[in-house]
Every structure is written in C-alpha cells, then in structure tokens.
Structure 1
C-alpha cells in the first residue's frame, strides 16, 4: 500500500526545487517509516542539485532529517514506533571499513548515499510518470514521510526538540566530529577554522569543548565572525581585507598553528591554511570540492615542519554514538548550535538554499 507525501523535488540540474505530491511505497524489512518533522538544508544538497555529485534526477534530497518513527520493517531491532530519531548518512555495515568502526569511510559510500535507489534498484518514491530517486543518504528527508534504511536512524532523547536537533545529521556532526573524533586537539593548543558556516561554527564550538586556547575564525562575512566570537572564537580574521597568513603568524607569536580546518574546499584557502601551520601541525579538509579539484603545496621550506594534510568525511563519526553525545552537550549549554539556525517552511525551501549560499543564514532548517 502506497502513501501520498508532499516533497521538494530536484527535477533538473541547477533548477529550483518544486513542491509536489508523490507516492511513497511500502516499507522493506530493513527500513523505518519516519514522519519528518524537520530537515536541515546542507551544502551537499546544493551540489547534488547542481550536478556536481552523481545522484540521478529527478530526486528528493535532504539528509539532515529528524522525526518520529511511525512504522518499522520486520528486520528492525534498534527503534520502535513512537521513538524520536535524527537521520544521518547511510553505510553498508559489511565492508572492512564499517567492520572496523570507520563507517564514515564506508567502501560503498557513493552507492549507499548518492545512488538514488535501494540495493535492488527500486526507489521508494514515484509520481504519475515513474520513479523519483530516493534514499538520498538513506533517507531523502525533504518529504513529509520517508522510508529510511536502518543505518541512517539514530534514536534520540524525546525531550530534545526535533526542529532544533535535525541538522546534527550532517553539517554540525561533520564540524564537531572533525575536532572531537579525528583531530583531537590537546587542551592549550591552537586551531584556525577557515569558513564559519554551519560546519565551521560547529568546529569552533567543539574546539572550545576540547580545550583549545587559541581558536581563530576566518571568514569573508563580518556578521559570521561576530557570531563566531560568541560561540568560542578567541580571534577573528576577515580574509577579504586582511593578510590571513600574516595575521595568523602574529596571533601565534610566530610559532604557527597546531591545527587548521578548512571547510571551504577553495584551493587558495587551503594553501593559506597549510602555510600557517607550525612544526608538527595538521591541516584537515572537510569541505566538498568538485571531483578533479587540485591544490598545490610548498614542499621546500615546509619540509622541516613535518606537517600533515588529511581529509575528513562526516566528522569520522559513528552517528549512532556521536549524535546522542552532541545532544547531551547541547542540553548542557556547551554546544549552542541553536544560535546558527533559522527555520523555513517547506514552500520556502528555495529561499533557504539561497540564504545559505549568500551567507545570510548559517543553518537553514525546513520545518514541516
């Protein structure tokens, strides 16, 4: 038996999403029916809409969903009807990386999260003309209801408001996890975060949690830098008007940074981050660039630094473990990501995308 849902559909590359009535099919044994209460809007949704990543269109995107469980498949053991859940990236659970606890680096990541269909090739969504790509990040949360794979489902405290915690599923998890799960800076160390959108802002908050004592926010928008100061940044630099490398040299007293995190994926910015490292420093990239993007680094004078470059996906987290921890940190006031959020109705989803792109909203959340 199918269910009629209202969803935002990406019909063609680079075009605005359209609000449509679609048919949602029956649950499969490994799926959870979720009534979506809210879904964050993320940069990854935009780059898929724009054809940079290969999900077949038309598709229902959305991968920061939160909602209430309304049905479970016969194989489901981790949640029950009535549970409140946050939705995150899917993973196969069977490959070497997943079995090693590195689910963010699942060997089947593109098939699980960007394939637009179940393993058997079917989609859960359709209209009168045929199939619509579904299961984006295992969920396709820009819809009033979704059939979600079990690995995407994280049970959360019912006291936490779903419209607030929805964006923990991707961007905020990525920024916070890059710090707390992967880089793990020691108390008293220095870090610069390049780009203070949702991912960068989460990283700044996490750096404060970790005990970093020099936390530098670098951005092109003064309004974002002002907000960064309220959530943990000790210094700010406007990259449009200042010499970023020179300013970071001053801030660190000539020692250079212990850590740098680039959320922009702009090659020139990543070069600045690497050039600002001290001896033994680490620069990490979490921003998504188009496949084939190259960056060049100076390898002469910097050889003696012994510095490290690494990439991080999804905060190197196990969502079922990490997201409940972030909820607890938020409830204690130590991870105040709610300061980043602005709510939008589903009909205004294209405005949410535009506001995210122009920097006027750090984390848009569509509330159903």
Structure 2
C-alpha cells in the first residue's frame, strides 16, 4: 500500500512528507487508516536525539482510526472497527502477564528499535527500509501497521479523530494519579507542568476526589485551564521558589507530586514541597539521557519519602482506556479541552505552535 508519511530524515531536522510503501500486515497485525494522531513530547525527543530511533524514520504514537485490513491470526478487532493505538509489549513476560504491561521486559526494543522483532520494517521507499514500528505503530502517516495487542476498540460516542492521545500522554498523566500513586480521596497533589500529561493528572485527581490540587505552570492560559479542569490552586514559578509557594498553601507539604518536567531545579523544589511520607511520581523525559536524581539518603529515610518512576501511568490499555472513555462520555474526564486540531500537512507548524505554548495537545487530522 502506498501512503503519505511525515519522515524524520536526520537528527534535528523538520518533518518531510514523503510517499512510502506500507507492508502487508503480519498474522498478528492490523492496518489502520489514521483519522488523527497526537503530537507528543516523545516524538520530539526522537527528533532531537534524546531517545534512540533510526533515521530516516517515521514516528507518531498517539494514533486513532479505522481498521482497513487484518492479519490472518487477528481476532480482537476486525475491518471497520474504530481503534486507538497505544504502546507495544511482548505479552509474555512477567509484567505483561500480571497486568502491568507498561513495564514489559522488552519495552525498549519493542517501541524504539525501528522495526519488528524479526528486524523487518513496515515502511520502505524504493526498496530501502525506513525506521518504523515506533511504539508498535508509527502513526505519522495516512495509514499505519500496529499489532493486535496494542490497539483498543473505541465506541461510536467518542470523536475518533482526537482519541489517539488517550493511548499515551493522557493515560500517562491520568494513570499516574489514578493507578500508579492511587492518590487517596481528600489528599493533596502537586503537579509540575500544565501540558497534556500534567492536566490529565489534574482530571484524574478530580476523579479520585483529591482534596487539594496544585499546578505549577509558567503559561498563564494553562494555569487558567488547570483551574477550569479542577485544580484548586495554581502557581507561577516566576513568582518565587515553588516549595515556598506550595507551603504557603499547605504548610505541611503535599502528599503526592507528579513531575512532568524531568528538570533538576524543578525536581529539587518538588522534593522540598513533599510532606512527611510524601510520594513523588516521575513521568518526564529528561533532555539529558544521563540525568540523575540526587537525594540525601538520611533525609529520604527520615521523611519516609517514596519515589516512583512511572511509565504510561501503569496502564493496562485494554482495561484503562475503556475506563477513561467511559468517564469522558459521562462528562467526568473532558480531555477534549486539551486538544487543538491542525491539518496533518502542517506538522512542522504544529511542532512550533506547541513549543510556543499556543496549544496544550496538538492532534494532527487527515482531511
């Protein structure tokens, strides 16, 4: 099948629309006609060399659309089904079989190697292989191949074009609060970063009936949106040390913190904002792959602090994504408030707009 895809030809380069050949689906794969695909920080991390992926290649990992072909062994979905794509996993290791597939023992090669486990690519041009299968999908195109395992059927009631981000950024933020940390009703939560992941955490905290929800965000429009989505307080980091502002609201500190920045100065302030027995959940991707967390061991022990690295919000997509969709359709998880749609062909403009803070979550749609 001939498709149009947004290709990264090299490190730091813009996306270029190219005509590529999409392979036929393997027995456990499906072909999706893409309705929309979210633009995620992780895609841009590849663009700037912060995550491994071969060039030239096609990324994109928050895709949604309609199944147009299935492999011979597929039973989970059929042609014509509406689906969202999510991260790829092996399905047979310990985490995959105990309900925590986001910690799959093969997560890195399954999502970042640039091809199928057998080394073949789903995308070629003039006989040359392109990096593909990003998160088991590479959905920056008109069509994509995904595995049966990493697609989830979507109901008619949800807008198919904007549903893709549920499969990564939105489930990451919401899941961090609802599943990973399982924030207690009536507790307090600090969220650093008012992007799509952080604001999804805010919506998850509202669902969990968290009592005090504090969002740290430099962009005024995002602080306002955080309040509209359920935050009880917002903080401008330029107004003074974050920990001092947090403790002016909660002198004892916060019970939970969700950091989406992975920035050393921010994390230092977050740790200073935690209450005794506080929990820090970390979902941000650092710009420096060798970044480390520094913490005094005596202080950590004396304060009873807990640090959690979180991948994809501890989501089991087959159960968690339907839960988020149900909450959305009931009006309790308005993730559509985060979305700005732009034409797929304007992908480079979308990258620039999101970087300027003009959009929280851009979804690229095919006309």
TM over 0.5: yes
Give the CA deviation at 1:268. 1.0
1-side partners of 2:342 and 2:296: how far apart? 44
Alpha-carbon distance change, 250 to 112 in structure 1, aligned in 2, over 3 angstroms: same
Counterpart contact for 2:195–2:360, Cα < 8 Å: yes
Match in the other structure for 1:221: 219
Q: Secondary structure at the match of 1:288?
A: coil
TM-score, normalized by length of structure 1? Answer: 0.97
1-side partners of 2:36 and 2:123: how far apart? 19
Q: Does 1:191 align with 2:189?
A: yes
2-side partners of 1:200 and 1:72: how far apart? 35
Match in the other structure for 1:242: 240
Give the CA deviation at 1:165. 1.4
Match in the other structure for 2:255: 258
Match in the other structure for 1:60: 58
Match in the other structure for 1:295: 293
Give the CA deviation at 1:299. 4.2
2-side partners of 1:260 and 1:208: how far apart? 15
Name which of structure 1's ranges 130-139 and 290-299 shifts more when overlaid on structure 2.
Answer: 290-299
Match in the other structure for 2:165: 167
Match of 2:131 among 130, 133, 136: 133
2-side partners of 1:292 and 1:326: how far apart? 34
Deviations 1:74-111 (A, max 9, x none): 11111011110000000000112212221000010111
1:91-240, aligned counterparts within 5 Å? 91-128=89-126, 130-240=128-238
Counterpart contact for 2:30–2:145, Cα < 8 Å: yes
Match in the other structure for 2:86: 88
Counterpart contact for 2:37–2:162, Cα < 8 Å: no
Deviations 1:228-249 (A, max 9, x none): 0000100000112222111111
Alpha-carbon distance change, 52 to 74 in structure 1, aligned in 2, over 3 angstroms: same
Name which of structure 1's ranges 195-204 and 342-351 shifts more when overlaid on structure 2.
Answer: 342-351
2-side partners of 1:138 and 1:171: how far apart? 16
Give the CA deviation at 1:297. 2.2
Give the CA deviation at 1:152. 1.4
Match of 2:326 among 317, 325, 328: 328
Give the CA deviation at 1:212. 0.6
Match in the other structure for 1:348: 346
Give the CA deviation at 1:148. 0.9
Counterpart contact for 1:83–1:158, Cα < 8 Å: no
Counterpart contact for 2:157–2:329, Cα < 8 Å: no
Match in the other structure for 1:36: 34
Q: Secondary structure at the match of 1:122?
A: coil
Counterpart contact for 2:28–2:73, Cα < 8 Å: yes
Q: Secondary structure at the match of 2:19?
A: strand
Give the CA deviation at 1:304. 2.2
2-side partners of 1:129 and 1:353: how far apart? 30
Give the CA deviation at 1:26. 1.1
1-side partners of 2:39 and 2:300: how far apart? 39
Counterpart contact for 1:41–1:366, Cα < 8 Å: yes
Give the CA deviation at 1:300. 4.5
2-side partners of 1:8 and 1:206: how far apart? 32
- Displaced runs of 4+ in structure 1, greater than 2 A? 297-304
2-side partners of 1:116 and 1:142: how far apart? 14
Match in the other structure for 2:360: 362
Match of 2:268 among 230, 252, 271: 271
Match in the other structure for 1:27: 25
1-side partners of 2:348 and 2:170: how far apart? 21
Unpaired segments ≥5 residues, structure 2: none
1-side partners of 2:332 and 2:214: how far apart? 18
2-side partners of 1:159 and 1:144: how far apart? 23
TM-score, normalized by length of structure 2? Answer: 0.97
Give the CA deviation at 1:354. 1.5
Q: Secondary structure at the match of 1:39?
A: strand
